[in-house]
């Protein structure tokens, strides 16, 4: 029996020479269909096109039933928003409209003349709405589905409380994470779709509360180390075109590969995996990458001086520990700052931010070296970190902590979170942070880098009341203002829309949603103390205005839970401690308990 002749459109296969590159096994689960969403409504635009609303912003594609004359071309255009004019908006993603042309996400289908179900195979879109152009009949809701795609990561954590808006926010962050955890962690599923290091640096700890992201982030770090420049710089996007490993050189990516807060992902993410999973292996594997980055920062501080130091007070030897040259994104996208602020970042290096990250990465690297038994380098990097902290205080701290850096909220958040200031300066810094928040009518003023640390810092330093006030704020800029506006994912910038109702940037970035990591740790009170939750703390935030909160997490040792509710002035707390672990339980009546594995119930009168 002979094989049939292949169709004319097929071509013979070719045998290629073996690759000289090392082949390694994949470390992360594949991208797959994770949910199917029905169409919620069909809109008719003023131009006569049908616009399908799926009620949820997502990453994926549409499965649609189509019929029509053979040769008819149908276009499916995807977007996250419909404009005030009732038409699908595809222009909002262009940050520099005077320089760049709008680009739409669309699929084109050439009908065969027979009824068919269509969905694309080799692409992914970010969308809530799909515009159908070319059909000569009205679609029905049952004619289409949105198929959400994401890397197949097992859910491990939950949070639920008495405020439905916070539960909604928690879900929105999950959908942004799901939309951007597609093979590699991206910034958004619409515009760049790129693995920006800064995005996952600020979000990695929060991700561990939602899904088992250990292997996923390990793989990202492996790629980061492979793409790292010989001098230690880290490309801002992984995978990237900015290193020799990838082939083509991107001048822009090479230029911004110096940025702190982004390159520090090389140190922060391994530390996150160690803290939440007890993952020592990733510390061993990424150790040289960590060292190369910190050594690069040390070289930058010692050998390059920027404009900000030309007329500054001479610090003597401490000058060698201030980073004020090269490109740095800085805090990035504080309220009121648009994406075009990148030009200001290029002109004025953010020394107060850059040096803070230099200090913290040096400190974390000294901790990693200690864990790995490299005492010589542990001592070296600990001394380096202390030198950088001393230089940072000498340069940016005034009035014993009452004024720091540019006197922005994020300056004080970093000072407290990274222990950059002395014990005597902490109260003054905290007071100034609270003062800035209150002067801003109880609104946050943080951007990309420090928003995820803001509520942690306030609560851990004795002001959980301010943390809750910010969390429950429902006017811009705030998290809940997005909920009030109908968001189903997290916006890229705080404003989201202008005063005319036009979308301003991506509607699906997880970075500003890093706050929900504090829901489990701060509100429910479930906090790891020893790596991998071998020992954890339960300290519920009952004085929050909420009546109940529950957090669960599937740790490496098993299922852990902290659940509290207030009824008739009595607080009831349930704690589940998995086998092989212990918990320190802090009760609101001033009593503390240290317990081993088991299920425990406590009651006390609410003060």
The answer to whether residue 253 scores a pLDDT higher than 90 is: no
CATH 2.60.120.260, the chain: domain bounds: 31-151
> Rounded distance, CA 5 to CA 452, Å?
61
Non-local CB neighbours of 343 within 8 Å, separated by 6+ positions: none
Q: Are 416 and 433 in contact (CB under 8 A)?
A: yes
- Averaged pLDDT, 400-412: 96
CB atoms within 10 A of CB 307: 13
Q: What are phi and psi of 596, to 5 degrees?
A: -95, -160
Report residue 301 as tokens: 């501080």
- Averaged pLDDT, 253-268: 91
The answer to whether residue 343 scores a pLDDT higher than 60 is: yes
Among left, alpha and beta (phi > 0; psi -120 to 50; other), residue 188 is beta
Mean pLDDT (the chain, rounded): 93
- Averaged pLDDT, 401-423: 97
| Residue-level pLDDT at 285 | 98
Q: Which of 36-45, 133-142, 340-349, 451-460 has the lowest mean pLDDT?
A: 340-349
**Burial status of residue 421 (CB atoms within 10 A of its CB: 0-12, 13-18, 19 or more):** buried
Which residue has better confidence, 315 or 439? 439
The answer to whether residue 248 scores a pLDDT higher than 70 is: no
- Averaged pLDDT, 538-562: 96
Q: Whose CA is closest to 237, among 198, 280, 295, 293? A: 198
Percent of the chain with pLDDT over 70: 94
- Domain 31-151 class, CATH top level: mainly beta
DSSP letter for 231, please.
Answer: T
DSSP letter for 313, please.
Answer: P
- Averaged pLDDT, 176-185: 97
Digit-coded pLDDT (tens) for 558-571: 999 999 999 999 99
Q: Which of 55-64, 226-235, 338-347 has the lowest mean pLDDT?
A: 338-347
- Averaged pLDDT, 214-237: 95
> Rounded distance, CA 380 to CA 377, Å?
5
| Residue-level pLDDT at 366 | 99
- Averaged pLDDT, 456-472: 98
CATH architecture observed for domain 535-605: Sandwich (2.60)
Position 199 confidence tier, pLDDT thresholds 50, 70, 90:
very high
- Averaged pLDDT, 273-280: 98
463 to 283, 434, 478: CA distances (angstroms): 34, 8, 18
The answer to whether residue 347 scores a pLDDT higher than 90 is: no
204 to 181, 269, 387: CA distances (angstroms): 11, 7, 28
The whole model's pTM is what? Answer: 0.94
CB atoms within 10 A of CB 156: 18
Digit-coded pLDDT (tens) for 74-119: 999 999 999 999 999 999 988 666 555 667 899 999 999 999 999 9
Among left, alpha and beta (phi > 0; psi -120 to 50; other), residue 193 is left
Digit-coded pLDDT (tens) for 512-523: 999 999 999 999
Report residue 228 as tokens: 């790292």
- Averaged pLDDT, 139-149: 98
Digit-coded pLDDT (tens) for 295-336: 999 999 999 887 666 667 778 899 999 999 888 999 999 999
CATH 2.60.420.10, the chain: domain bounds: 535-605
- Averaged pLDDT, 222-229: 95
Report residue 143 as tokens: 């004619």
Q: Whose CA is closest to 85, among 508, 512, 603, 501? A: 501
Which residue has better confidence, 3 or 195? 195
Q: Which of 28-37, 200-209, 425-434 has the lowest mean pLDDT?
A: 28-37
| Residue-level pLDDT at 249 | 45
Report residue 284 as tokens: 């061993």
């Amino acid at each position: 029996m002979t094989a049939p002749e292949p169709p004319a459109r097929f071509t013979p296969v070719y045998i290629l020479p073996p690759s000289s590159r090392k082949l390694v096994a994949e470390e992360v689960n594949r991208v797959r269909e994770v949910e199917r969403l029905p169409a919620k409504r069909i809109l008719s635009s003023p131009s006569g096109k049908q616009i399908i609303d799926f009620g949820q912003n997502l990453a994926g594609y549409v499965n649609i039933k189509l019929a029509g004359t053979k040769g008819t071309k149908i276009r499916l255009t995807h977007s996250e928003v419909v404009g005030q004019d009732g038409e699908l908006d595809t222009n909002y993603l262009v940050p520099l409209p005077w320089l760049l042309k709008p680009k739409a996400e669309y699929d084109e289908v050439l009908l065969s003349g027979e009824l068919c179900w269509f969905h694309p195979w080799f692409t992914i879109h970010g969308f809530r709405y799909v515009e159908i152009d070319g059909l000569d009949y009205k679609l029905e809701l049952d004619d289409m589905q949105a198929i959400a795609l994401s890397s197949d990561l097992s859910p491990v954590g939950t949070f639920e409380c008495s405020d439905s808006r916070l539960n909604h926010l928690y879900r929105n962050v999950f959908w942004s994470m799901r939309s951007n955890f597609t093979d590699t962690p991206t910034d958004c599923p619409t515009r760049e779709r790129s693995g920006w290091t800064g995005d996952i640096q600020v979000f990695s700890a929060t991700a561990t509360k939602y899904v088992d992201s250990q292997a996923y982030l390990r793989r990202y770090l492996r790629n980061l180390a492979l793409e790292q420049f010989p001098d230690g710089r880290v490309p801002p996007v992984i995978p990237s075109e900015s290193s020799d490993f990838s082939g083509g050189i991107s001048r822009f990516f090479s230029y911004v590969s110096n940025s702190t807060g982004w390159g520090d992902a090389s140190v922060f993410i391994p530390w996150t995996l160690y803290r939440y999973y007890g993952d020592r292996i990733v510390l061993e594997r990424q150790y040289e990458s960590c060292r190369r980055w910190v050594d690069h920062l040390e070289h930058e501080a010692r050998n390059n001086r920027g404009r900000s130091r030309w007329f500054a007070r001479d610090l003597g030897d401490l000058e060698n520990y201030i980073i004020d040259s090269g490109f740095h994104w800085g805090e990035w996208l504080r309220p009121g700052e648009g994406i075009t602020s990148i030009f200001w970042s290029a002109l004025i290096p953010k020394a107060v931010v850059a040096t803070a990250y230099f200090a913290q990465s040096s400190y974390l690297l000294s901790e990693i070296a200690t864990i790995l038994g490299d005492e010589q380098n542990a001592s070296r990097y600990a001394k380096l970190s202390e030198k950088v902290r001393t230089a940072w205080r000498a340069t940016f701290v005034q009035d014993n902590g009452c004024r720091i850096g540019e006197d922005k909220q994020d300056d004080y958040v970093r000072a407290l979170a990274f222990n950059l200031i002395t014990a005597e300066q902490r109260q003054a810094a905290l007071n100034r942070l609270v003062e800035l928040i209150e002067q801003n009518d109880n609104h946050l003023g943080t951007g990309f880098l420090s928003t995820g640390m803001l509520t942690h810092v306030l609560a851990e330093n004795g002001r959980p009341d301010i943390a809750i006030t910010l969390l429950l704020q429902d006017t811009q800029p705030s998290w809940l203002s997005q909920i009030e506006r109908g968001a189903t994912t997290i916006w890229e910038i705080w404003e989201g829309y202008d005063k005319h109702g036009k979308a301003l940037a991506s509607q699906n970035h997880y970075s500003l949603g890093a706050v929900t990591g504090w829901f489990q740790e701060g509100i429910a009170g479930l906090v790891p103390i020893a790596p991998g939750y071998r020992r954890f703390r339960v300290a519920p935030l009952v004085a929050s205005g909420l009546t109940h909160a529950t957090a669960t997490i599937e740790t490496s040792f098993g299922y852990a839970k902290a659940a509290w509710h207030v009824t008739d002035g009595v607080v009831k707390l349930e704690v589940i401690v998995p086998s092989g672990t212990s918990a320190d339980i802090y009760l609101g009546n001033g009593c503390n308990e240290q317990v081993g594995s088991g299920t425990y119930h406590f009651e006390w009168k609410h003060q």
